Structure 1
């Protein structure tokens, strides 16, 4: 319980107990801003040492994502999505960046559990959004990789803001 409180997932109220913390829009925006900065850094650091076996691993994760999408297993799907992105934090060799990712990972998962169902028609659409990333990695074109990964990270924000703006 204390660890969950430290991670901001639980809130204690005196004489009332502990409750699941709300996901605040401001906090999510800050997390995604941080993620844009550190994820591209992790990807860039991992590119020189990227092996064909690494791309094969990412392709396997992608295939498992598609399988989870086919059976609409949201939680398995999110775990695989996080595994796909965590690969670059691990591969970068920067233990501090990996540690930051592991700390924000839980909050991102909570957000994705809501956003994936709310802003996408199905999980397969999200899964297939990873294929251009893998193909760009195979071509080893750093400019293309950066463009596609940044677009990938911003897709959910674009959909969320579009949907929120059409409600007003």
Structure 2
């Protein structure tokens, strides 16, 4: 188990174990199929087993790990086909979400999007690629929240963790230097107020992720 222990406070042990394991999974230090044994993790962090179980349960709820008979908890798989399928569905969903969010965007929304991209720039400077993935999720998640379609929102909630995982794979393989600028461009497109243009530009932005499936072992 490659996740390193940190200085843990009694009231946040479970949360910190969760964050450490999540980072190890997202960064690929814990690869799909890796076993997560409660006793080993507890020994690594020098803590009791109860907060470890709580952390693992949270990871299970997010789909990052699975419970398997005779193996306990293992890191969930993410296949090339899943990536291709998710990107295809996301293109349709995000185009819809952006187009239908546009009438509701106000200056405070644009300011928030700009703040997120500024944080992206900071994450890029500090080479914090996990934080960059989280910020990318926050940026695009805004439109699923604003679009007013509860089914689209639910579908996004169900798939977002796998989306974040393969974006993390991409960010660790490819340069992220232009990622913030690409998102500033999306904000400019949104400010144009043209729903069709915004839809097309966001879908085009997602096209880059179609190559990520080549980084995952074939089914």
TM-score bracket relative to the smaller structure: 0.7 to 0.9
2:104 is matched with which residue? 49
* Partner-residue secondary structure (3-state), 1:140: coil
Match of 2:21 in 1: none
Residue of structure 2 in register with 1:151 after alignment: 204
In structure 2, the residue matched to 1:11 is: 66
Q: 2:144 — aligned with what? A: 89
Alignment RMSD: 2.0
Q: C-alpha displacement at 1:149, in angstroms?
A: 0.6
Q: How does 1:2-151 map to 2 (within 5 A)?
A: 4-5=59-60, 8-118=63-173, 120-121=174-175, 123-151=176-204
**Unmatched 5+ stretches in structure 1:** none
Bigger Cα displacement from structure 2, 28-37 vs 138-147: 138-147
Structure 2 runs not aligned, ≥5 long: 1-55
Q: Give the conservation status (yes or no) of the 8 Å contact 1:137–1:145.
A: yes
Structure 1 counterpart SS, 2:73: strand
- Report the Cα offset of residue 154 of structure 1: 0.8
How many residues matched? 160
Deviates further, 73-82 or 8-17: 8-17
TM-score by length of 2: 0.66
> d(CA) in 1 for partners of 2:191 and 2:62?
36
Judging by fraction of residues, say which structure has more helix.
Answer: 1
How far does residue 10 in structure 1 lie from its aligned partner after superposition? 2.4
> Equivalents in 2 of 1:141, 1:75: separation in Å?
32
Q: Name the CA shift for 1:3/1:31 in 2 (closer, same or farther; >3 Å).
A: farther
Based on CA coordinates, which of the two structures has the bigger radius of gyration? 2
1:116 Cα deviation from its structure 2 partner: 1.2
Q: CA deviation at 1:57?
A: 1.4
